[in-house]
Structure 1
Amino acid sequence: MSKSDTAEFRPDWRFWIIYVSLFLISFAAAVDNTIVFTALPSITQAIGGGGQYVWIANSYVVASTAIMPLFGQISNIFGRRIPSIMAVAVFALGSGISGGAHDIAMLIAGRTIQGIGCGGIFVFLDIIVCDLVPLRWRGQYLGPIVGAAGLGSTMGPVIGGALVKESWRWVLYITLPFSGLALVVMMFFMKLQYTPELSWRRRLMRIDIPGNALFVASVGAILVGLIMGGTIYPWKSYRVILPIAIGFAGWAAFSLYQLSPRWCPEPTIPPRLFNNRTSAIGFVLSFLSGMLLEWIVYFYPLYFQALQGASALKSGVNTLPFNACLMPAGIAAGTLMTKTGIYKPLHAAAYALTAIGLGLTATLKTSSSIIAWVFFQLILAAGIGCTFVTILPAIQAGLPESDVASSTSLYAFFRGFGFIWGVTIPSLVLNSHVDRGLHTISDPFVRDRMSNGGAYEFAAHGNIQRLPREGRSQVLDLYTGALRLSWLASIAFALLGFILVLGEKHIKLRKELNTEFKMEEVKMADKEHSEANGASTPNAADVDVRDTTLHA
C-alpha cells in the first residue's frame, strides 16, 4: 500500500488559528449580506432615498458576484496572503463608509465596496482551505466554513433588527470587529509559501484586464436587469430586457475571447476547467445548489407570513429548523466523503432529498401542522447542506492543484449567480399566477396592491391578516395556489441536478497535497516547543507526506 493511501491529515496549531479566523470572517461577511433587510426603513428615513432602497442591498450582491473570477486569477499571480488581506481590508473600508454615510449615494458606494471585499473573502476562504487541506479531507473542513456563512445569513436580519433600535449605523459597523480580528490573525499567522518569479510590473501585466472588464460588465448587466425586473420596472419593460440581453451577449463574447490563446494568453476562466466532464457538471450543480438554497430561504418566510399570518420575526424563527441543520448536514456529508472517498452517491442523495423536500413543501396549506413544516425543512437542510461541501472537491478531483484558485473562484461565482436566479424565477412564477387569478379578488384596492409584481411585498407586510374575512379567504386561496406552483417549479431544478449527477465519474480524491501555496515550514523552535509539550515525533512516512503538503 502506498504512502498516499495510508497518510492522514494532521493540522497543527497554526492551521487552527487561521481556520478560526476564516470561520469568523465567513460569518461576518454573510451577516453583512442580509443584515440591512430589516434596517432599510430606518436607513431610508434617516438619510432619504426611499426610492433607491433596492440598490442599498443589491449593489452589494452585484459587486460581490461579478468580481469573483478576477480574485481567482489575482491569487495565482500575487499569491494568497496579500490579496486575501486586501479583500478583508476593502470589506472593512466599505463597512466604515456605509456606516458613516450621510446620503444615499455614499451608502450605495459603501455597500458596493463592501460587496467587492465580500466577493474576495468568499473566494479566498475556499482557496485557502483548499491550499491547506488535501482533497480527500476538504469536505470535512469546508463544512464549518460554509455553515458559518449560512448561520450568518440567517442571523443577519435578526441582528439588524436588534441593532437598528439603537442606531442604524451600528447595523453597518458591526462587521468591523470581526474584520479587524481576522486581519490581525491573517497578518501574523497566515504565512503561506509563495515565491514570485516576476517583478510587480510583470505580474500586473499578467492580469486579464480586457477579459475581466468584459466579464464584470456583462454579469453586472444581467444582475442589474434581474434585480430591476418586477421591483423597479415590469419584466416586459425594455429597461429590464435590454441589460439582460446585452449581458448574455457580452458573456458569449467573453467566452470566445477566453478561447483565443493569441488574444488571451492567460485567461481568467481557463477553458480547460470544462474539459473534464465531472468538473463541468460540478459547476452546473453549484449553480443549482445556490439557486435552490435562495429559493427556500426566500419563499419559506413568505409561506409563514402569507398563509399563517406570522410576523417577519416569527417567520424567521419558524425557518430555524432549516437554517440550524444546514451546518450539521454539511459537516456530516463532508465527514462521510472523507471516510469513504466518494462523492457521486452523496450528490445523488442530496438532490433526491431536495426534490422530495420541495415536493412535500408544495403540499403546505394554511392548516398545515408545525410537525409537517419542521420535518420538510429538515429534509431540505439535509439535501442542500450536503451539496454545499461536496461539490467543490468533486470539481477539483479531475483538475491539477494548479487550478485550485481558478476552479474555486468559478465555483463561488456560479453559486452566487444561482442566488440571484433563486429569487428571480420563483418571483416570476408567483407574480404570474397572482396576476392571472386577480379576477377572484373582489376588493379593487387589494387587486391593485397585488398586481404587477406586488404579491410578495403585499404578503410580507402582514396586509392579508388585516383584510375582512371574505376578502382574506379569497387572497389566501390565491396565495396557496401561487406558492404551490412555485414549489412545484423548484422540483424541476432539483431533478435536473439529480440527472446531471448520473453523468459524473468517480475520481479518486487525492490524499497528497502538491501546491506551491502551502504553509511555510515550521521553524525548529516551534518543533522543539511541540515536542516539549508532549507531541510525538512523526514517523518517516508522515514526514514525507507532510513535507509535500502542509508540513503540519
Structure 2
Amino acid sequence: MAKSDNAESERPLASPSEPPTSSPEPATDATAEPSAAQPKGHSPRFWAIIVSLSLLAFISALDTMIITTALPTITQDIGGATQYIWIGNSFVLASSVLQPLCGQLADILGRKIPVVASIALFMIGSGVAGGAVNTAMFIVGRSVQGVGAGGIYVLIDIVCCDLVPLRDRGKYIGIINAWAGVAAALGPVLGGVLAERDWRWIFYMNLPICVLPLVCILAFMNLKTGDGSFKLAQVDYSGTVLFILSIVSLLIGLVTGGITHPWSSWQVIVPLVLGIVGWICFHLHQHFYAKHPSIPTRLFSNRTSATGYALTFLGSVLLQTAGYFLPVYFQAVLRTTVSDSGVYFLPIAIGSLFSAVIGGVLLSKYGAFRPLHAAAFALSTVGFGLFTLLNDDTPKVAWAFYQLILVAGLGMTISTILPAILAGLAESDVAAATAAFSFIKTFGFVWGVTVPSVIFMGVFNNNLSTISSPDLREQLKDGRAYSFASEAHRIGSTIEPEVWSEVVKVYTTSLDAIWWFSLGLSILSMFMVAGERGLDLSTELKTEYGMEEVADSKKQAE
C-alpha cells in the first residue's frame, strides 16, 4: 500500500498538468492553465463530434433495453422459444467480451478506424437482425450488433478524453453518456410500441440514425494516430482469447441461472467456476506474461483508481436494479401498462441527463471528485430508503420525488468516476483504463439484473403461500412473477379484490427486499469513497490522439 500511495502522491505535489521532472518552470496558478493549454472556445468540428458521440451512446444503449418488451413478439414470429435466453442475451454477451481489445486497438490503430468499424458492425448487425427469418439468423445479427455496440461503449469515452483535459472530461462525458440513461428508459416503451406494429423496425431504424454520426466521424474526426504506425503484433491475442472464454463462461452461468437451469445445477455451477478461474488466470497472464497487456495490472495499482473501478461496478449495479425493478412496481403494484410504466420512469430517465451534466460541471469547476462521489451515494442511500415505503397507496408525487432523489445521486456517477480513475494514471493509459471502465460498467449491469432477480424470486417463492388462489400461485412461482407483471393491468381486473391484494402484498414484500439490498450497497459505496485520494485533475490536454486543430492551437499558444 505504501508503494501505491507514493505513486499517487506524485501528481498532487506537481503542477496539475505535468510531473515535476518535465516542467521547465515552477507550478503556476491553475486558473491560468486553460488559456495556455487550448483555445477558449470549441470549434463546430468539436461539437459535431460531441453530438455524434451522444447519438451513438443513445442508440447503442437503446438496443440493450428496447428488445425486452418486444422479445415475446419476435420469438413468436421467428420461432425459437427454446432459444429464448440466447435471443435476449446474445447482444449483452457480444458487447462485453471484446471491450478490452477495442481499447488496445484504439492505441494501435488510432481512434477513427475502430470507431468507424464499430458503427459499421452495429449497422450490419441491425440489418441482419431486422431481416431475420429464423432464430439462428437473429442471434447472429444481434451478436454482430453487440460487438459494434461494445466498441461504441468504449470508444465514445476514449474519444471524449482525447478532446478535452482531464478536469473537463466529466462535463462532456456527462453530456454524452446521459443520453444512454434516457435510452434505457425509453427502450421498453418504444420496443412495445414498435412490436405492436412491426418489430423489424426496432432494428431498421438504427440504420438512418447511425448514418449521421458515421458521416460526421468520417468528415470531422481528424484525430492523430499516435506514432502513426500500425503495430498489430502488439495486440494481446492470447490474453484476449483467455478473457473472451472466461467472460463468456461466466456470463453463461449468470444469464441461465434460475431461468434455464436451477442455480444449484451443474449447468450453472460449472460455467461459473470455469469463468472465475479463467478470469483469475487472465489477470495473472496480464501481470506476468503479456508483453502488451490489454488490461495492465498497473490500472489497479493505486487506491484511487482501484476504488474508482469498484464504485463504477457498484454504481452500475444500483442503476440497473432501479431500471429493472421500478417498472415491476409500476406494472404489478400500481397496475399500469408497459407504456405507462415507461412514462412513470421518466423522472429517472430525464433526471439522469441533468444530474450527469451537473455533476460534470461541478467537477470541472471545482476539480474535487470525492465530495461528489460521497454526495452521490448518500443520495442513493436516501432514495432507496424511500423506495422501501412504496406500496399500492403511494401517491404519484411521492414516487416521482423518490426517483429524483435517487437519480440526483446515481446520475452524478455517470460523469465523475472515470476522471477520478484517470487522475491516478498516466495519460498513455487512457485507452486501456477507459476500456476496463467500460467493461466493468457493463458487467455491473449484468449483476444488477442477476443478483436482485435471485433475491426477488427467492422472497416471492417464500411468500407464495399467502396467496389463496392455487392457479395464481402456479402462474407466479419460480421467476414467472416478473413477466406476469406486464399483464397485471389486464389480469388484475378479473381477480377478486381480496385475492389481488394478496398478490400485491407479495410483490411489495419482494421488491422491498431489493430496495434494502440496494440501500446496503449504497451505504457500502459511500464508505468506499474514503479509499480515494484527493488528486489534482489536470487542466492541460496532453494526448497523442487529439484533434489536429487542438494540437495546432496548443503550439500557437506555446
TM-score (normalizing by structure 1) = 0.92
2:302 paired residue number = 276
Question: What is the match of residue 74 of structure 1?
Answer: 105
Determine what percentage of the aligned residue pairs are the same residue. Answer: 44
Q: Distance in 1 between matches of 2:389 and 2:299?
A: 40
Contact kept? 1:59, 1:112, Cα under 8 Å = yes
Offset, 1:279: 0.4
SS in 2 for 1:502: helix
Question: What is the deviation of 1:2?
Answer: 2.4
- Distance, in Å, in 2 between the alignment partners of 1:477 and 1:332 is 38
Could you tell which deviates more after superposition, 41-50 or 413-422? 41-50
Matching residue's letter, 2:354: P
Asked whether the 8 Å contact 1:512–1:545 carries over to 2, the reply is: no
For 1:95-144, what per-residue CA distance to the aligned partner results, in whole angstroms no more than 9, with x for missing partners? 11111111111001100000000000010000000011100111111111
CA contact (8 A) 2:355 2:407 kept: yes
CA distance in 2: counterparts of 1:162 and 1:37, whole angstroms? 12
Q: Deviation digits for residues 474-510 of structure 1, max 9, x if unmatched?
A: 2222222111111101111111110110111000000
Superposed CA offset, 1:278-318 (max 9, x none): 00000010001110000000111111111111111111111
- How far 1:351 moved relative to its partner? 0.3
Instruction: Encode CA deviations 1:371-408: one digit per residue, 9 max, x unaligned.
Output: 21011000011011011100000000111110100111
Aligned in 2, Cα 1:229/1:464: closer, same or farther, shift over 3 Å?
Answer: farther
Residue 335 of structure 2 is matched in structure 1 by 309
Q: Distance in 2 between matches of 1:54 and 1:216?
A: 19
Structure 2 CA distance, aligned partners of 1:485 and 1:243? 28
Which residue is 2:236 aligned to?
208
Distance (Å, rounded) in 2 between the aligned partners of 1:519 and 1:126: 15
Partner amino acid, structure 1, of 2:148: G
Aligned to 1:351: 377
Look up the equivalent residue of 1:246 and give its one-letter code: L
The answer to whether the aligner puts 1:103 opposite 2:131 as a matched pair is: no
| Structure 2 equivalent of residue 239 of structure 1 | 267
Q: Which residue of 1 aligns with 2:69?
A: 38
CA contact (8 A) 1:355 1:491 kept: yes
Q: Quote the Cα distance in structure 2 between the aligned partners of 1:305 and 1:160.
A: 16
CA distance in 2, matches of 1:293, 1:10: 34
Equivalent in the alignment of 1:363: 389
Match of 1:501 among 529, 534, 538: 529
Name the stretch that deviates more: 305-314 or 405-414: 305-314
What does the per-residue CA deviation read over 1:127-168, in whole Å, with 9 as the maximum and x for residues that have no partner?
Answer: 000011100111111111111111122222222233334322
Partner SS, residue 108 of structure 2: helix
Pairing 1:118–2:149 present: yes
Q: Report the residue type matching 2:504 in the other structure.
A: L
Separation of aligned partners in 1, 2:501 and 2:408: 34
Residues 267 and 522 (structure 1), Cα distance of their counterparts in 2 relative to 1, 3 Å cut: closer
- 1:430/1:455 contact within 8 Å kept: no
Q: Which residue does the alignment assign to 2:458? A: 432
- SS of residue matched to 2:400: helix
Number of the residue aligned with 1:57: 88
Residue 230 of structure 1 deviates from its aligned partner by 1.9
The amino acid of 1:484's aligned partner reads: D
Q: Which residue of 1 aligns with 2:16?
A: none
Q: Deviations over 1:12-37 (max 9, x none)?
A: 12111111111111111112222222
Corresponding letter in the other structure for 1:68: Q
Aligned pairs for 1:123-142 (under 5 A) are 123-142=154-173
Q: Verify: 1:85 aligned to 2:111, yes or no.
A: no
Task: Name the CA shift for 1:179/1:54 in 2 (closer, same or farther; >3 Å).
Answer: same
Name the structure 2 match of 1:158.
189
SS of match in other structure, 1:153 = helix
Q: Do the aligned partners of 1:325 and 1:381 also contact (CA within 8 Å) in 2?
A: yes
Is contact 1:464–1:475 with CA below 8 Å preserved after alignment?
no
Supply the distance in 2 between the matched residues of 1:453 and 1:496 (Cα, whole angstroms): 28
User: Any conservation in 1 of the 2:303–2:532 contact (CA below 8 Å)?
Assistant: yes
Within a 5 Å distance, the mapping from 1:485-500 to structure 2 comes to 485-500=513-528
The structure 2 residue matched to 1:183, chosen from 199, 214, 237, is 214
Query: 1:503 & 1:173 partners in 2: Cα distance?
Result: 46
Residue identity in the other structure for 1:184: V
Query: Helix, strand or coil: the match of 1:399?
Result: coil
CA–CA separation in structure 2 for the residues paired with 1:522 and 1:334: 21
* Equivalent position amino acid for 1:284 in 2: A
Distance in 2 of aligned mates of 1:34 and 1:438 = 29
Could you say which residue in structure 1 is the equivalent of 2:358?
A: 332
State whether structure 2 residue 545 is matched by structure 1 residue 517: yes
Equivalent of residue 473 in structure 1, options 501, 518, 538? 501
Q: Deviations over 1:173-223 (max 9, x none)?
A: 11111222211111111100125464x4xx222111111111111111111
Q: Which runs of 5+ in 2 are unaligned?
A: 1-26, 35-39
Alignment of 1:447 onto 2:465: no
How far apart in 2 are the matches of 1:378 and 1:522?
38
In the alignment, the residues of structure 1 paired with residue 322 and residue 493 of structure 2 have an alpha-carbon distance, to the nearest angstrom, of 23
Does the CA-based 8 Å contact 1:269-1:406 persist in structure 2?
A: yes
| Alignment coverage as a number of residue pairs | 525
Amino acid at match of 1:306: A
SS at match of 1:7: helix
Equivalent position SS for 1:151? helix
CA contact (8 A) 2:463 2:506 kept: yes
Using the alignment, how far apart are the partners of 1:488 and 1:340 within structure 2?
A: 33
Change (3 A) 1:546 1:243: farther
Show the counterpart of 1:528.
none
Determine if contact 1:25/1:182 at 8 Å carries over to the other structure: yes
Q: Is the 8 A contact 2:262 2:268 kept in 1?
A: yes
CA distance in structure 2 between the partners assigned to 1:438 and 1:36 by the alignment: 29
Deviations 1:239-294 (A, max 9, x none): 1121111111110111111111xx21111101111111100000010001110000
Q: Which runs of 5+ in 1 are unaligned?
A: 525-542
Q: Distance in 2 between matches of 1:230 and 1:467?
A: 28
User: Shift in Å at residue 60 of structure 1?
Assistant: 0.4
SS of 1:164's partner is: helix
